[in-house]
């Protein structure tokens, strides 16, 4: 089949992207399938402005920059990228290859599968306000991606959690004005020093307050009206009010699971021959839940897939000898 891939990676986060790079480096025809409309996974959603220190070669790197670098690296080996598709079923065919079916009905065929999709798919809880649909994707955002887009703008963060506090602090020296709206009296799951930093910052904190109304034209949001009667003139609204997490379908795919994760062998193999796992999806003794760990697991998974496809192939390759396939 012309559309039969050597490796199909489920998940386009940092682990999935590095898996794609190493797979291409090993000369494997590679496809990445991502549920979200953008790449980067949880790093893009939760840590775009945070410094990350567990990745070798970077004394510190922001989530945004890390995703950009890993994405650039992955694209250098020309994988096929499929966005906004969720894999619903995986069936092993008579010839040992796999048929992957998405919720859209699309079919994907692959000799091996590497699962790099974490603990399942997630969506942000939407803002529960009438008329929000007109501004979502324009001025109402559910992730902070690309801080520079808020430069010089009046920005409101609606959140009662650590994520919202992180966003507000990241915007302080970029946006012209930052407000954070907390419907409660305290922020949830926030380190005490971050609360102190927030209170000492120029961010305007509104506790025990809710957004009552959005006002503006058909195409442009102008104001956020609070339930205490205060109106805030704004350019952008960032919303983090929790996640809608959809449990993974690993069990339905015939995979053994342990507390939602997939037990793997030393080459990241699962109980189904030809399917491997890396990143947060995988579990094994003494595993470290770090971004950097996912890169090592990605290489092991690709090497396992390569050996499964061609038992005579070298168990590994070195980037100093082969950087990318032609």
Residue numbering of the annotated binding site for FAD: 15, 34, 42, 47, 87, 122, 280, 320
Instruction: Give the span between the Cα atoms of 11 and 250, in whole angstroms.
Output: 13
Instruction: Give the span between the Cα atoms of 168 and 93, in whole angstroms.
Output: 50
Find all residues with CB under 8 Å of 167, minimum gap 6, and list them.
Answer: 49, 144, 157, 159, 238, 240
In which region does residue 300 sit, left (phi positive, over 0), alpha (psi from -120 to 50) or beta (all else)? alpha
- The DSSP bridge pattern shows strands 211-216 and 221-226 to be antiparallel
Integer CA distances (angstroms), 74 to 10, 36, 70, 184, in order: 14, 17, 6, 42
Instruction: Give the span between the Cα atoms of 38 and 33, in whole angstroms.
Output: 11
The two three-digit tokens of residue 259, written as one number: 């507390």
- The DSSP bridge pattern shows strands 243-247 and 120-124 to be antiparallel
Residue of 208, 200, 211 lying closest to 238 (CA atoms): 211
What stretch of H or E contains 306? helix 291-309
DSSP one-letter string for 190-213: --HHHHHHHHHSSPEEE-S--EEE
| Known binding residues | 15, 34, 42, 47, 87, 122, 280, 320
């Amino acid at each position: 089949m012309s559309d039969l891939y050597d490796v199909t990676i489920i998940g386009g986060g940092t682990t999935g992207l590095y898996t794609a790079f190493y797979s291409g480096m090993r000369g494997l025809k590679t496809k990445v399938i991502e549920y979200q409309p953008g790449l980067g996974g949880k790093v893009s959603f939760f840590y775009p402005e945070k410094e990350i220190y567990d990745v070798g070669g970077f004394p510190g790197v922001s989530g945004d920059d890390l995703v950009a670098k890993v994405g650039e690296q992955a694209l250098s080996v020309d994988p096929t990228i499929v966005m906004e598709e969720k894999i619903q079923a995986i069936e092993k065919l008579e010839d040992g290859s796999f048929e992957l079916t998405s919720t859209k009905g699309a079919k994907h065929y692959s000799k091996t599968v590497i699962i790099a999709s974490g603990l399942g798919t997630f969506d942000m809880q939407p803002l529960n306000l009438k008329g929000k649909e007109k501004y979502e994707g324009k001025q109402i955002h559910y992730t902070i991606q690309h801080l520079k887009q808020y430069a010089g703008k009046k920005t409101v963060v609606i959140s009662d959690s650590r994520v919202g506090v992180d966003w507000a602090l990241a915007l302080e020296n970029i946006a012209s004005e930052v407000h954070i709206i907390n419907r409660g009296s305290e922020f949830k799951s926030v380190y005490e020093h971050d609360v102190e930093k927030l209170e000492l910052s120029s961010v305007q904190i509104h506790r025990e307050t809710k957004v009552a109304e959005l006002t503006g034209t058909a195409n442009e949001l102008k104001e956020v009206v609070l339930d205490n009667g205060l109106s805030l003139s704004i350019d952008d609204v960032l919303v983090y009010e929790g996640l809608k997490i959809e449990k993974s379908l690993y069990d339905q795919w015939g995979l053994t699971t342990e507390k939602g994760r997939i037990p793997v062998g030393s080459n990241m193999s699962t109980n189904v021959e030809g399917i491997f796992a890396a990143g947060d999806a995988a579990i094994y003794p003494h595993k470290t839940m770090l971004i950097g760990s996912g890169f090592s697991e990605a290489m092991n998974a690709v090497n396992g897939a390569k050996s499964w496809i061609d038992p005579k192939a070298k168990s590994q390759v070195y980037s100093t000898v082969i950087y990318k396939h032609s």
